[in-house]
Chains A and B, each alone.
Chain A
Amino acid sequence: MPFRTLMFRALALVALAIVALPGPARAQDALQPALQAFADDLASPSRRTIESVVITLIEQDHPNIGEFLRRYSAREVVQRPEDGLFFYAEDAGALVRLVDIDSGEAVAEVSSRDVTQIRTNSGVQRVIAAALVPLELNAPERERRMAALDAISRSPDASQIAPLAESVERETDASLKTRKERLLLLLQAQFAQDRAVQLSAIAALGGDTSIEARGVLNRLTATVTEVALALPEGANIARVLNVGTDLTEAAAYELLVSAALAEPAQTPAMLREVLAENIVDGRVGGVPVGRLSDPAARIEAYEALEAAGTVPPRAAPDEAAQAVAAHVFFDRYTLDDAEITAAAQAALDSTQQAIAAYQVADLVLDGLSLASIFFLAAIGLAITFGVMGVINMAHGEFIMMGAYTGYVVQLFIPDYTISLLVALPLAFLVTFGAGVAMERSVIRHLYKRPLETLLATFGISIALQQLAKNIFGTQARPLTAPDWLGGALQINDIVGISTIRVAIFVLALIFLALLLYILKRTRLGLEVRAVTQNPGMAASMGINPDRINMLTFGLGSGIAGIAGVAIGLYAQVTSEMGANYIVQSFMTVVVGGVGNVWGTLAGASLIGFLQKGIEWFNPSNTLAAQTYMVLFVILFIQFRPKGIVALRGRAAGD
């Protein structure tokens, strides 16, 4: 055997030289020769012997050593018995493809019986993994160090603490360093041998809202619900459960049953089955079957069977209650160390507080974004409603029109950024035109009849909606945001907001400023306010109310168009999208108070925040949130019929 081995080695060296020469790897860097030096230990590894081998190999610092050890540990390395060379084995159908360790080229395909697979047991695998960690943690490439950290956080264990702690010192990259420090804390909190280290690590995790930190603390404070006749001595009890308040009697009894401390209670279905099995000549225990639709008769029949000894005795009615009363129910920490669990619990509590604060922050962001959407959708409506007293039911369709304009623009201009820049003004122009056309052709004839304007514009609304359906189909059309709007502003694991919503918020702010400017600082605004307050007087002062009405209506509609593009970016563009916003927009206007930009802002904020707030209480049910929202609006109007910002005195009319 030694002779044969020697000979094979010599041959192998020759062969290797031949194979290795044309390859890029220089001979002295090649791993195979180094491996051959420990061929026996590698071929039949044991936990005892492998460590020194692995350490020696790692110290030699071959470029491929990391990969080799990983695949070796994963049992992907085979030895060819003829020459003792090691290869990576890859699956190739029925055969095994042998891959050269240094060049990575496929060498041959052989039957699996022609090579020896090296079986690394779990002890060996652990040794290799531990040996690899410091290697990778201190690898020169940032990516490899990052991958090592990822690997540790995927499957953390105690052995990683020492190398990680050691590598923290050597880390040069600042962000990786903080990450390593955190990971170290996480490891220490779970596995540190030294109690003081563990406790301080746990304390340091308090207030950390990341999912990893919460996961660690949750694991440390995990509990199981148990039941016993008396509280067990020395057990690490989290809390004693009160039957009735902490858990129902039925649940408590189920616990007893699953702990084999009580028999399962007889359900009505079980009773029926037992009775059905014991029907004799149309009677059960002497009770005619026909009477058994009465629950009392069923019990009577069962008791008769019981007396005859056919069935086991029935539980007394209060047996379950007695059994429950005789036991204590408690949550026990899965960790027995009370000091650790208490520290972890305290840390978790402080984390919860941080989380609550962040959740409020997140809620505020959500509310803000919803409010800005409502504001954008409603402000156009508020202008036309406030200035002209006209309810435009087709406002939602103008929103839709704007969104479809954006969609069509994207069909022609593939670059999303440019198309968005084109779509915004174009949508304004299109809906401005539509608004002016509608005002001229329909609404101006109906100024004396506001309720009929509502109906006429509704007619226009259904016609437009159907028209959109006929042109664009019923299917939702995409309006894609440019990439720079695609991401999200993630502040931490809890607080985050998509960039698009930030953009909508900014858009809403721009419009607020623009409208305030137009209404307060321009000639048009002055005339608009004059017409709002007293059309007759305004007309006599040379203001043409027709022109003002037309422009106002156009402006309101144009803003709806822009809102449509904005909404289309994050929601889908359908012919019905406007209808989804119209009622909300009305409520915004009504709650805010008519004819006032600030009022609309207040209304939108109130409705936006409230809706998010209600959703927070019941996050799974948006419909319910909307229902309560609408109910709130109905009640709100009871107390402030003219909205938050109400015009008072004679201007309010009567």
Chain B
Amino acid sequence: MSALLEVSGVSVTFDGFRAINNLSISIGEPELRAVIGPNGAGKTTFMDIVTGKTKPDEGRVLWGEASQNLLGMSESAIARAGIGRKFQKPTVFEDQTVRENLAMALRNKRGPFDVLLYKTNRHARARIAELAEEIGLSDHLPRRAGDLSHGQKQWLEIGMLLAQDPRLLLVDEPAAGMTPAEREHTTELLTRAAQTRAVVVIEHDMEFIRRLNCKVTVLHEGSVLAEGSLDHVTQNQQVIDVYLGR
């Protein structure tokens, strides 16, 4: 298992508040990793840094076999390099159909003129059908994404992530607001995806994480507090202190 993403010594400050403090995390491929931590621990900011939304004050973020430096690349370039992200709040394009949403995310050339001259083909249609099957939205392809239920939107977004065919998936609270049955399905989706690629999940729900059954990283005040199996970290005294409060 070689490191796909190497975050080392990253710090970022917002108006004097240190959101990330000398953070180092390494993700392999394939791997399923859960990141937990109390509010304000810097989980979302960590994703912001990896995806290029926030520029850190110091540190390195290296990517892939060639150890490409992700800092200084634009969000879209990072996404094209193979990092997909799902936001905490489901953000699908509500005015467009499920099919259009998926088609937009499909792995294809992204340049404006390529897209302008793009002709849909059998392969693309097949892939969309396959993805729709996987996220359980086969019957909803022509529907407006805005008309879907909350859980369906979450899946659609995961489906869009998968359509991008990324090497690393960053998933922010995928199970929030889902019914238990829907959670089950989501867990399944994520573990399956993690068989061929790296998946990082941010989650609050311990039950959900337990079901993912993977390595866990605990963040606190912008840096790694503990790392290991869920059982291992939950027995860590520091983690208990942080979570239960002193």
Query: Among residues 639 to 654 in chain A, which have CB atoms less than 8 Å away from a CB atom of chain B?
Result: 648-650
Q: Total interface residues on B, using CB and 8 Å? A: 3
Residue of B nearest to A650 (CB): B14
CB distance from B91 to the nearest CB of A (A): 13
Shortest CB-to-CB span from A653 to chain B, Å, is: 14
The minimal Cβ–Cβ distance linking B86 to chain A, given in whole angstroms, is 18
Question: How many Å from the CB of A536 to the closest CB on chain B?
Answer: 15
Q: Which residues of B contact A650 (CB under 8 A)?
A: 14
Task: Determine how close the nearest CB of chain A comes to the CB of B210; give it in whole angstroms.
Answer: 32
Bound: A648/B14 CA distance, A: 8
Q: Which residues from B are CB-within-8-Å of A649? A: 14-15, 17
Interface size class on chain A is under 10
- Chain A residues positioned under 8 Å from B17 (CB to CB): 649
Give Cα distance in the complex from A649 to B17, angstroms.
10
**What's the Cα separation between A630 and B186 when bound, in Å?**
53
Give the docked Cα–Cα distance between A650 and B15 (Å): 10
8 Å CB contacts to A: which residues of B14-39? 14-15, 17
Question: How far apart are the CA atoms of A648 and B15 in the complex, in Å?
Answer: 7
On chain B, the residues within 8 Å of A648 by CB distance are 14-15
Q: Which residue of B lies closest to A648 (CB)?
A: B15
Interface string of B3-21 (1 = CB under 8 A from A): 0000000000011010000
| Bound CA span A635–B17, Å | 31
Cα distance, A260 to B10, chains bound together (Å): 83
Alpha-carbon separation in the docked complex, A74 to B139 (Å) = 113
Contacts of B15 in A (CB 8 A): 648-649
Closest Cβ of chain A to B199, distance in Å, is 26
Binary contact track B121-160/A, C-beta < 8 Å → 1, others 0: 0000000000000000000000000000000000000000
A650 to B17 alpha-carbon distance, docked (Å): 11
A479 to B10 Cα, complex, angstroms? 63
Q: How far is the CB of B53 from chain A (nearest CB, A)?
A: 8
Specify which chain A residues have a CB less than 8 angstroms from the CB of B14 in the assembled complex: 648-650
A451 shortest CB reach to chain B, Å: 16
Q: Tell me the complex Cα distance, A650–B53, Å.
A: 13
Q: How far does the alpha carbon of A649 sit from the alpha carbon of B14 in the complex, in Å?
A: 6
Shortest CB-to-CB span from A601 to chain B, Å, is 22
CB distance from B57 to the nearest CB of A (A): 13
Chain A 362-395 interface 0/1 with B at a Cβ cutoff of 8 Å (1 = within)? 0000000000000000000000000000000000
A537 CB, nearest partner CB in chain B, Å = 16
Q: Chain A: which residue is nearest B17 at the CB level? A: A649
Give complex CA distance A649, B54 in Å.
11
CA distance in complex: A532, B231 (Å): 45
Q: How far is the CB of A191 from chain B (nearest CB, A)?
A: 72
- Distance between A290 CB and nearest chain B CB, rounded to angstroms: 55
Report the nearest A residue to B15, measured CB to CB.
A649
CA of A648 to CA of B17, assembled, Å: 12
Complex: A648 Cα to B13 Cα, angstroms = 11
Contacting A at CB under 8 A, from B41-55, are none
Write the chain B residue with the least CB distance to A647.
B15
CA distance A283 to B31 in the complex (A): 98
**Bound form: Cα–Cα A592–B14 in Å:** 21
Looking at the assembled complex, report how far the CB atom of B128 sits from the nearest CB atom of chain A, in whole angstroms: 31
| Closest CB in chain B relative to A357 CB, distance in Å | 42
Q: How far is the CB of B105 from chain A (nearest CB, A)?
A: 22
Whole-angstrom distance between the alpha carbons of A33 and B15 in the complex?
98
Nearest-neighbour CB distance to chain B for A646, whole angstroms, equals: 11
Q: Can you sample 6 A-B contacts with CB below 8 Å?
A: A648-B14, A648-B15, A649-B14, A649-B15, A649-B17, A650-B14
List residues of chain A with CB under 8 Å of any chain B CB: 648-650
Nearest first, the 6 closest Cβ-Cβ pairs linking A and B are: A649-B14, A649-B15, A648-B15, A650-B14, A648-B14, A649-B17
